[in-house]
Structure 1
């Protein structure tokens, strides 16, 4: 089955009277409620639950092994291969299943705020609430058609279709399969809407580098003078909190491209974690959850329909999907110039990384490839003490190409645009988790502000003797002793032992990048 055959089969399906094309938000909400797919909350958002799957299913994600991509994909546990024949059979089974449904929903939009690089996206959904999710997360056409002479990538999502692994060649009942030649993303067996969002990010991580554009899993904002900042970081590092600055305008909170002209948001909305969300802590997100927004797995009072963001009855991974235009203080269209400052965020539970350090280009590439943060005791079964976790390029599940390619693009961009790069530790100080304390948010904000305003670019620097990092001797609003991790520990031998333990983990993790340039490993990593 070639791309044309796949398109023809889908076209026949979408000609049916039960197919609703590009419904408005009110029309979709009416459908969602009439079909009993979700409930209406007190703010006008809808709340859906996703059953057994409350997060992504990385072990069920595949890429079709096709001639045009075979030599380029970094095959392995993240990018699992599946044959064209297996995909074709499953694709046709899913289309046959969808033909039997009473109603289907289609959304036509884009990925990529920069019109020169945007990708048309067609989303075909079994669920109306999934179609509303797509409406919020992707870029909606504004007086234009969803075709800029580029064949769209099509998401076909059938959550209630369960695969038979023994027959369909999958690992379970769930599957997320990308075919680049057929320009199709096939999803089934899971109601978790985030699979659609992250699948599009995965294909953009393949397509953008082919066009010379650096794709990034980061948030971005812009200051009053037009200065642009990027924030990379894994869950729990403070990426959303620190990038939502009232004095700066938000470009986007999760996915961006960096072209020869500057940065642009890949999405048209946000997909925020909302466990423990409050108006006081994160007013921008809280106020954005209104009519048209989608809440996933959030507990809602049956009578008042007020959302209880502190309750994790369904999952800790509660989510809110909302369009960017439901927020204040944003950049529209979501495009800006070249970044002046790049910030890598880590929550080091070992309490040994400096709260802020300035990175050389080699160190930036090293820490980008490492993507370090910590899992804390109690967050997962069996974890009784902090454990280092490394997610390559701060987004390893979404990288079809070898990681070195993304790191080389980062290094080139840093050099071309003379961007300052900082590693910011929002984790522990004065000891490891359980002994020390979490870094004060006011200190972290002061350090980030100093970095963004350029105060640290020429500041006096001290060298960390274990990690080789350059630490500013002074930061306005932060006690000097807080800046040097060893000075915050009462037991110096314990500090040194813990720091060397983390350094060894960095070095061990980096051995998987066997083909990376030697200077990156030698100049970028720990000294021990």
Structure 2
């Protein structure tokens, strides 16, 4: 990354008498308790509530329209422009607001485990618990690194500062604004700490491709023989569960870069969902929650302080942040070689996609751009039957550049490194949601293991007549009939109708992509 000078306003802010620079975990925990920002769980984790906002606010996120970036950003409903004047006006107000606070907390660290490509950052918080969050989520510098640390991006987080939309040009009291020229992120009006994490990810999604590095919203692990696997998938597809493998070491669980040298974790921690968490289902996450971890919107028993992970009173989106070192089976540092295998995960509630299928490069690019999974009936108001949902590159809210830029980089790297790509459906079989059954986790684990071991590279396949996918006829540990969805349905015609319905949704969604090579659309998608 290039060296960038910090503005005089921020230097003045950081030199204020109210600033606590690089506080330790114990110091921050003490501050949280003294300031009554949160309480401790039985295991010693800080538990904070985020009030009105318990998730991201996509309609309140902006990028400053600036000369050097104006023609690069994929402007639209995800990347909303705001003027430089509006940013400067709000920036000065936020800086003045933070100067008046009794205490400020500053974390200096990095995004990117590969030292050749890391981004030095600093996070300025008015809440001690949010500074603890930043400390656990990003890469912490050594004492020697801290001495020479020069931040190239600064986050100013002021949750209690509310914008005036009529004056400040925002949509509401809440704002998340990135200026790539000023190298500043402004966050205000929301206490949800995930905005801090995802702002840096969005920045890396802009900067890394400029250095020919593919930024990815995926988990990654490595086998003891050095073979690397990537797992892409939206919420509910099993990404965390399947990448946490006792026979493989975790590189990272959410954000990665793929450079000419291999894969590296962008973060230094994990930000895991907690709803329904148990030691039986997710032992690694459960046991990682200890002193210094940060629980968001998790309900504690008032006396024992034991978390009730099934309680969704505050939100379904309960979260925990902890350093990756709290996981036993990890790679240190979080760097590995080039991927051997890529797994795209989907939870198809229509019950028509194969449990596992081999993808060509074109199909991989098509499904990467599609980013398909299903919303289930009852999970959102008004959703009475399964709905197809598509998130470009499995991370559309965080992509400043055109989606095709990321897909083209993926296709190039698949070719360069002869990567095997598989689409794995962890959803339904024998009928759609409400009729069929969810594919057994044991079967999915067997299929993923066979893919990672290379057992499916030369196995006999059959082509799906609607989606054009190559389905293995045999996978160790999985009944043959499970592998072909049509064989699990009682009514072949009902299966065909539902499959064509989903194929049409894929085709309709793909129309939004401009300048996509013809072979990607023709060879990658459902058979017309």
TM bin, normalised by shorter chain, reads over 0.9
What's the CA shift for 1:12? 1.0
Residue matched to 1:35 = 35
Number of equivalent positions:
526
Unmatched runs of 5 consecutive residues or more in structure 2: none
Cα shift readout 1:311-360 (whole Å, capped 9, x = no counterpart)? 10100000000001111000110000000000000000000000000000
What's the CA shift for 1:131? 0.2
Cα shift readout 1:440-492 (whole Å, capped 9, x = no counterpart)? 00000000000000000010010000000000000000000000000000011
Write the distance in 2 (CA, Å) between the matches of 1:142 and 1:149. Answer: 10
Show the 5 A alignment for 1:373-522.
Answer: 373-522=373-522
Write the distance in 2 (CA, Å) between the matches of 1:44 and 1:330. Answer: 23
What's the CA shift for 1:306? 0.6
Write the distance in 2 (CA, Å) between the matches of 1:161 and 1:342. Answer: 43
Residue matched to 1:269 = 269
What's the CA shift for 1:4? 8.7
Write the distance in 2 (CA, Å) between the matches of 1:4 and 1:356. Answer: 46
TM-score, scaled to structure 1 = 0.98
What's the CA shift for 1:143? 3.1
Show the 5 A alignment for 1:53-202.
Answer: 53-146=53-146, 151-202=151-202
Write the distance in 1 (CA, Å) between the matches of 2:366 and 2:286. Answer: 36
- 8 Å contact from structure 2 (residues 62, 81) kept in 1: yes
Write the distance in 1 (CA, Å) between the matches of 2:259 and 2:152. Answer: 21
Write the distance in 2 (CA, Å) between the matches of 1:148 and 1:286. Answer: 36
SS of corresponding position for 1:204: helix
Write the distance in 2 (CA, Å) between the matches of 1:13 and 1:5. Answer: 15
SS of corresponding position for 1:135: helix
What's the CA shift for 1:11? 1.2
Residue matched to 1:327 = 327
Structure 1 stretches (4+) deviating beyond 2 angstroms?
Answer: 3-6, 143-151
Write the distance in 2 (CA, Å) between the matches of 1:61 and 1:416. Answer: 36
- 8 Å contact from structure 2 (residues 5, 152) kept in 1: no
Residue matched to 1:353 = 353
- 8 Å contact from structure 1 (residues 223, 248) kept in 2: yes
What's the CA shift for 1:434? 0.4
What's the CA shift for 1:280? 0.9
TM-score, scaled to structure 2 = 0.98
SS of corresponding position for 1:522: helix
Residue matched to 1:249 = 249
SS of corresponding position for 1:144: helix
- 8 Å contact from structure 2 (residues 4, 151) kept in 1: no
Write the distance in 2 (CA, Å) between the matches of 1:459 and 1:147. Answer: 55
Write the distance in 2 (CA, Å) between the matches of 1:473 and 1:35. Answer: 61
What's the CA shift for 1:99? 1.3
